[in-house]
Every structure is written in structure tokens, then in C-alpha cells.
Copies of this chain bind each other. A is one copy, B any other.
């Protein structure tokens, strides 16, 4: 055995001291001067970068320092990318963060709701509207880059961000973290007093200008820099007159170059070529660029044992045959599919002020009794679900006299979507209750479906799963709130409407002159098929024939007749014109109402009474119920959901539902006074009869 212990430890200590001293001398030298003639220095640079990556940068950081991150984001797809980026960042971070999001209207609507419902402790989010700067500030710059004008906004950040914000890390939406962002922030400590921009070398030969004959890129130092990850020392830039600086350079170059090819990156590089002293070169691992020819990136990471930030700056077709790409893909998938709810964790040792709604919720949760048989119900009601609105692109103009189909589903009902699309050509607003991984499955499902990918008027809103009970009414409310038409058809995912229903409803709304002020609920009679290979009726006559033949039934005629009896199917059979019907206990028709109708009562979770309560609310607010003579919708058979199975098998579940109903009626009485008496009477009558 070799003698080990102290002598060995001291030897190691000496080695570390050497390394540490080496780094700081070297770190001080890491300014642009060394990059001159970059092409020939490659090898040396790579080695240096790796060495620096091993160093304990965190120890330079005051614990709990607030780190600032700016991201420019526009549109539906980039908003999804930002979520993955933010997840990776949050997974490794140990500091409070302030995100500065420069967004268009679409991204703002998505991300504001997302962060509001995500409630991550020690994360602040500020929004800045792109349109404010875009018009004057950068739209004059001709540009051919795929990410359009938005990337150019990175140039105006020193002016766009608050004047008291001194330093910020700027990220492209297509980067993924594999390390703690505080290590990146720590490089600000290595800026000389002249330096204001931290960048990684560009890992392609683009700026060398020899890719093809007459290839004329914008000027850059050597390979230039990549602007997917930038450290910006904002107040120095402001003081140095950055705005003037880049505009002068850009204007002059645009006299001879027709447009920027790589947006802001071209201009950053051109300015740096003229003022190399501005830049601190960052180690390549902080922006590993997976563009099409990534041999240069490979040179960067091949000697490293870990990566810091990956930049997907290429069309994302990842060929499965490359072992390295598989590694990167796995890292990306890790965060795509990572349960974002798990990131709602406190930072140890950095006390933060929770958002007011979180605190309130925490207090309410603390008051719950875990031994209560209905604990799960109460807990579920207090759950704030993360919501990602319009998960997929949407192209929809608000319109009058139009109807949006509103429904909700979980992943086991995805198969219904294609059929539903073939039955309903109009706009839809659907809430999907999914895990993060299922959301990706959903994405692939839509991409693989010709029917679904051809539609641009279907809005999909992802509500992330949390807790044991299906929050059916909350889902309905999310979908309802996003409808953009005057009216909504409140449906369920396992119903297929008559092929003609969409046009018929639009015509009816117009003919009946239903403004969005008029309190009318158009009833669409509901039927059911017990046969899963139904030849769907194309007219009322065909439907009646199937009904007479016993192939169709009125909905739940055998197990829950009171749900639809008031629709009066006998009268409907003969009806030529809309007719009014009266509310009765447990009535739960499928209705078309103005978008401003009352919301669903979200305390009803799981199975049971969730629609009934909504119809009571409509009646209490004096909506009239008008049955449409040519309208119908048919329930398709499916295996019972887990919630229904649970309801059927558990008396405790039914008791909790009872308690919810009682609460609901108390609230009704408080709200509507004597007018609500009839609902209570009906409830009591139904209980004494069972």
C-alpha cells in the first residue's frame, strides 16, 4: 500500500494553487487581443477554455445575488422554446432570477399567463413590448435571417431595459442550459474596465467569407462571435454611446451590403471589428453551437467532461445516427419533458417574498385537515395549474355571429380530435390536461396528422396536470376564456356534432338576432351511440330513423334521464321552429351561449354535477333555454374514465360531491336570495327520493 493521507492531500493542494493562480493571470488576459489570427489559434483556445471551465467560479459570487436575464421572444413556437430554456435554467440555478422578456402580443399573452400560473419562487418576470421599439429602432435594417426582425432587438436592449439595470445575460430562445447560470454571470467579474460585452467565438466558418465564391459576409474578427449568449454590461454601453456606435456602423455598411444575413449578430460583429476592446471572450462551452457543420463545436466539447450551454442554431432535424447528437438531444428532451411543477421549489438559504396568491394558497392549504375524507377535493381546488395558452400556432380573426366549440380533454381522448375536426369546420378552443411529456406527445400527434395540421382555427391550451382529480370545470373555463367569437358552443370531447351544426348555429344566431347581450342559451339535443362503429346520420331524418331502429338513444336515457328530459325529445321530433323549455333539477343540456356567459364553478373536480351547476347558474341569471329543431350532437362510446370508475366504486367520493353541492347552494342563496330557493328545494326533493 502506498502511503496516502496528508502528504498526498498537500500535493493536491499545491496543484490547485498553481491552477488557481494560473487561471487568474490567464483570466486577466482573456481579452480580445489574444483572438487575433483566430484561425491558427484554435487549438490553444480550446485547451484554455477547458481549463477555465474547471474553476470554482461560484465562489466569486455573492450568495443570493439577483441575476438578470433578457430574452427576445415572438410568436407561438418561440414561446414554447422559451419554456424549455427557462426550465433548464431553473433546474440548475441557485440564485434568484429576474427575467426581462421582450415579446410581441402573442408571446406576451402566452408567457404572462404561464409565469403567473407557474408561481416559481424567486423568479421575477418583466415584459417589454417589441412594437414600442421595433418600429423606429430596428425596422429600417434590411435582414434575411430566419428569425426575422425580432433578433435585431437585442441591439436596443441597453435602451429598452430599465436605466437602473446595470448588467444582463441575453439569451436566444434556442439555447439549453446544462449548468448553473451563476457560473456564467460570474464572468462579469473578469471584465476589464473597458470591456462591456461577453461573447463566445462563432463555431462556423461563415465570417471567414470563403464558404462559396463571392460569399461576402459582414465584417468580423476571424470567425467572429456568436450572439446566442451575450453578457451585456448595460450601463457601460449606455455611457459609451452604444446606440450611436452600432447605428453608425450599420448604416455605413448597408451602403455596400444589401442586408444583414444573421440579423443582430452581423451588426455586433461589425461593431466589435472596429472596437475589439469592448469584448471579453467567453469559453466555448458557454455556447456550444450545433449548426449544420459542427466540427468546430466538436473541437470545443470533445475534451470537456461537461457542457455549459447548448445552442440549437440549426434546423432541428437531429439525425439519430450521430452519438454526440443523441447526447444533445437527450439533454434537450430532458427539459422538454421535465415536469415544470417540480421547479416550484424554494431556494435554500435565499429567502424570497412569495407572490401574494402563493402565500394565500399556502395559508389555505395549511388550514386543510388531511384526515378529512374530502381532503383531496379541497386540495385540488387550491391547486394552481400551470397554463400554456395557444400551445400551437393559431390564425384566427375575431368575428361576430360566429361560434367557437369549447371542450376539454386529457391525453386518452386525443383520438377524438380528427373526427371532431371533420364534424366541426369552425373555430375551437380546447383545453388539454397533460403532463409536460404528454404535451410533447400531443405535439407529435398533431404534426403527424394531416387533418389537424391543416387547421389554423383550433386553439389548444395546455393545462398541466397536478393532483389526483380531473379539474374539469377549471379546464372548461380556460378554454372558454380564450374563445374569440361572439358565441360559444359548450360541448364535451366525446360528442360529435352534426356535420351541419356549425353553419346551422351561425345562421340561427343571425336569424334569431342574438346579440351577445341577449341572455339566450340555444340547446343542442344530445344523443348517444352505444355502437362504436356508427354510420353517422347526415340529417335529422336519418337520426330519427336510427333512433327508431334502436341504434341511437337519447343521451343517458337509462342511467341519468333527468339530465336531458327537459329538452323534450318528443317535441323536438316534430319541431320546425325553436321552442323554449324550462329549467328542471339536474338539467345539463349542451348549449350555445354568448362568450360572456357565467364561468363554470371550478370547485367541481373529478366526475359529477359539474355541468349541472353551470346550467343552474344560467337559469339563475335568467337565461332562456331555446331548443333548436335541426341541431343535434351524438356521444360516442368509450371506456369509462378513471374518474367515473372511482365515482362509481367509492361512497366517500359521492359524499364529497354531496358536500360540494351543499356549498354551491349556499353560495347561490347568498348571491341570488329568494330566487335561488327553487334550486335548494329541487336538491332536497331529489335527495329524499333516493
**A residues neighboring B (CB under 8 Å):** 1, 3-6, 8-10, 12-13, 15-17, 19-21, 23-24, 27-28, 54-56, 58-60, 63-64, 94, 189-195, 235-236, 239, 301-307, 319-321, 323-324, 326-327, 330-331, 333-334, 337-339, 341-350, 362, 365-366, 370, 379, 411-416, 418, 435, 437, 444-445, 468, 530-533, 558, 636-642, 645
A to B CB contacts below 8 Å, 26 in the list: A1-B235, A3-B193, A4-B192, A4-B193, A8-B189, A9-B27, A10-B24, A15-B60, A16-B60, A17-B17, A17-B21, A54-B56, A302-B348, A306-B348, A321-B366, A323-B346, A326-B346, A327-B345, A330-B343, A331-B345, A411-B412, A437-B437, A530-B531, A530-B533, A637-B639, A639-B639
Q: Inside 8 A of A304's CB, which chain B residues have their CB?
A: 348-349
**What is the count of identical protomers in the complex?**
2
- Cα A116 to Cα B365 with chains together (Å): 45
- Complex interface: chain B residues within 8 A of A641 (CB): 415
Chain B residues in 8 Å Cβ range of A306: 94, 348
Given contacts A13-B24, A303-B349, A415-B640, 8 further A-B contacts (CB under 8 A): A5-B190, A13-B21, A331-B342, A418-B645, A532-B640, A636-B639, A637-B637, A638-B639
Q: How far is the CA of A369 from the CA of B23 in the complex (A)?
A: 48
Q: Can you name the residue of chain B whose Cβ is closest to the Cβ of A365?
A: B321
Cβ-defined contact, A342 with B330, below 8 A:
yes
Contact B415 A645 (CB under 8 A): yes
Question: B301, B532, B558: which contacts A530 (Cβ < 8 A)?
Answer: B532
Residues of B within 8 A of A326 (CB): 344-346
Given A94-B306, A342-B334, A347-B305, A638-B638 contact (CB < 8 Å)? yes
Complex CA–CA separation, A151 to B150 (angstroms) = 60
Q: How far is the CA of A366 from the CA of B320 in the complex (A)?
A: 9
User: Is B16 in contact with A28, judged by CB distance below 8 angstroms?
Assistant: no
Across-interface contacts of A28 in B (CB, < 8 A): 5-6, 9-10
How long is the Cα–Cα vector from A559 to B356 in the complex, in angstroms? Answer: 60
B9 & A24 in contact (Cβ 8 Å cutoff): yes
**A6 near B349 (CB under 8 angstroms)?**
no
Contacts of A64 in B (CB 8 A): 305
Contact A54 B60 (CB under 8 A): no
Report how far A422 CA is from B558 CA in the complex, Å.
25
Contacts known (A189-B8, A320-B365); A348 close to B305, Cβ less than 8 A = yes
Docked-complex contact A642 and B414, CB < 8 angstroms: yes
Residues of B within 8 A of A8 (CB): 189
B-chain residues with CB within 8 Å of residue A333 when the two chains form the complex: 339, 342
A59: shortest Cβ distance to chain B, in Å? Answer: 5
Is A16 a contact partner of B366 (Cβ separation < 8 A)?
Answer: no
Shortest CB–CB separation between residue A3 and chain B, in angstroms? 5
Which residue from chain B places its CB closest to the CB of A188 in the assembled complex?
A: B4
Q: Output the nearest chain B residue to A16 by Cβ-Cβ distance.
A: B20
Enumerate chain B residues within 8 angstroms of A334, measured Cβ to Cβ.
Answer: 338-339, 342
State in angstroms the CA–CA spacing of A237 and B239 once bound together: 66
A556 CB to nearest chain B CB (Å): 11
Known: A9-B27, A28-B10, A55-B56. A345 touches B330 (CB 8 A): yes
CA of A236 to CA of B331, assembled, Å: 40
C-alpha spacing A301/B94, complex, angstroms: 13
**A334, B296: Cα distance in complex, Å:** 34
Closest to A413 in B: B639
Bound together, the chains give a CA A3 to CA B19 distance in angstroms of 26
CA distance A192 to B2 in the complex (A): 11
Min distance, Cβ A343 to any Cβ of chain B, angstroms: 8
User: Nearest Cβ distance between residue A142 and chain B, in whole angstroms?
Assistant: 36
* Chain B residues, CB < 8 A from A302: 348-349
Docked Cα-Cα span, A321 to B367, in Å, equals 10
Closest 10 A/B residue pairs (Cβ) = A5-B192, A13-B24, A5-B193, A330-B342, A56-B56, A327-B345, A94-B305, A638-B639, A412-B412, A6-B28
